[in-house]
């Protein structure tokens, strides 16, 4: 059985547990599971965890189910919050990925499924974690593009994953890139594309997250300087916090999934996460 805590995110087939959720006037979240619900089956919870509020709702749901003697087996949260803060660069910062993981570990799931984790730190700090790779998503993106592309790895962090995607797709060519940041401010300061000339070839940048988009706008410029053909972007988790106007100018098409939110925008092609990630 399944309980979908985000009513717009239903990635799994199966009978659903009904519940009401609302926020008290003071801002506190609340949840009430159908009191007539009764099952001997174990339950999987699906949720898009984008904020502490979402995490709060998850904790409330787990508690309510446990009090109804329901066995909770799996948690499917495609986007793992805090995953980018997976190291402490400057004294005074939290190790956010561990903060979120410790809370989820405390809920005692048998399996926690995450889609395209930002780095290897997420499965390392999360108990019983299974990471679903982005291979099928990228295969679908390439099918939709319809022409031959080179895969572009924006930085060292993405490289290992991109070589696995390339292998899954039968050995598509990969071009490596790197980005540098100002040590003091952390702001992006430059990009390098490790190729002499791209000779008009079409390029697909593959990464896990697009947030403000600065990484991809900067990299697109560098790829154009290297005579790239059409540019495409595929990110597993589409945050797009600075909108699409600038990104839309840099790319022919942008692809993402519904892991973070639902997007209905002219420049964004959303591919919903497939039915059974298990």
Ligand X SMILES: O=P(O)(O)OC[C@H]1O[C@H](OP(=O)(O)OP(=O)(O)O)[C@H](O)[C@@H]1O
Residues that bind ligand X (CB under 6 A): 84, 118, 154-155, 157, 207-215
Q: How many C-beta neighbours within 10 Å does residue 278 have?
A: 11
Radius of gyration of the chain (CA): 20
Strand, helix or coil at 130?
Answer: strand
Residue number with CB closer to ligand X (31 or 121): 121
Write down the least CB distance from residue 44 to ligand X, Å. 28
For residues 234 and 205, the answer to whether their CB atoms sit within 8 Å is: yes
Strand partners, 233: 205, 254
With respect to ligand X, which residue has the nearer C-beta, 84 or 136? Answer: 84
How is residue 168 written in tokens? 């899954």
Nearest residue (CB) to ligand X, 9 versus 191: 191
Least gap, CB of 158 to ligand X (angstroms): 6
Contacts 24+ apart (CB under 8 A), 268-273: 268/238, 268/240, 268/244, 269/141, 269/144, 270/238, 271/137, 271/140, 271/141, 271/144, 272/11, 273/11, 273/78, 273/115, 273/137
Name the minimum Å distance from CB 161 to ligand X.
Answer: 10
CB of 273 to ligand X, least distance (A): 18
Task: State both tokens at 217.
Answer: 């706008």
Which of 78, 213 has the CB closer to ligand X?
Answer: 213
In the complex, which residue's CB is closest to ligand X? 215
CB of 157 vs ligand X, minimal distance in Å: 4
Q: Which is nearer to ligand X, 57 or 219 (CB)?
A: 219
């Amino acid at each position: 059985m399944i309980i979908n805590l985000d009513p717009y995110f239903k990635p799994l087939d199966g009978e659903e547990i009904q519940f009401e959720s609302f926020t008290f006037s003071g801002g506190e979240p609340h949840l009430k599971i159908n009191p007539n619900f009764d099952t001997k089956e174990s339950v999987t919870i699906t949720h898009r965890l984008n904020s502490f509020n979402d995490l709060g709702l998850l904790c409330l749901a787990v508690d309510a189910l446990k009090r109804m003697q329901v066995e909770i087996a799996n948690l499917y949260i495609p986007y793992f919050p805090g995953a980018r803060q997976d190291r402490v660069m400057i004294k005074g910062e939290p190790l956010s990925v561990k903060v979120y993981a410790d809370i989820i570990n405390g809920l005692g799931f048998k399996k926690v499924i995450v889609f395209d984790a930002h780095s290897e730190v997420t499965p390392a700090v999360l108990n019983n974690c299974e990471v679903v790779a982005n291979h099928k998503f990228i295969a679908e993106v390439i099918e939709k593009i319809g022409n031959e592309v080179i895969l572009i790895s924006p930085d060292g962090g993405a490289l290992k994953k991109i070589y696995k995607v390339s292998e899954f797709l039968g050995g598509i060519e990969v071009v490596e890139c790197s980005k540098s940041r100002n040590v003091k401010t952390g702001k992006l300061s430059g990009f390098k594309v490790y190729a002499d000339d791209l000779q008009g070839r079409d390029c697909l940048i593959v990464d896990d997250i697009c947030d403000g988009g600065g990484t991809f706008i900067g990299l697109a410029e560098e790829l154009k300087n290297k005579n790239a053909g059409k540019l495409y972007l595929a990110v597993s988790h589409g945050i797009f916090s600075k909108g699409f106007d600038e990104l839309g100018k840099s790319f022919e098409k942008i692809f993402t999934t519904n892991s973070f939110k639902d997007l209905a925008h002219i420049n964004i092609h959303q591919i919903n996460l497939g039915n059974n990630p298990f």
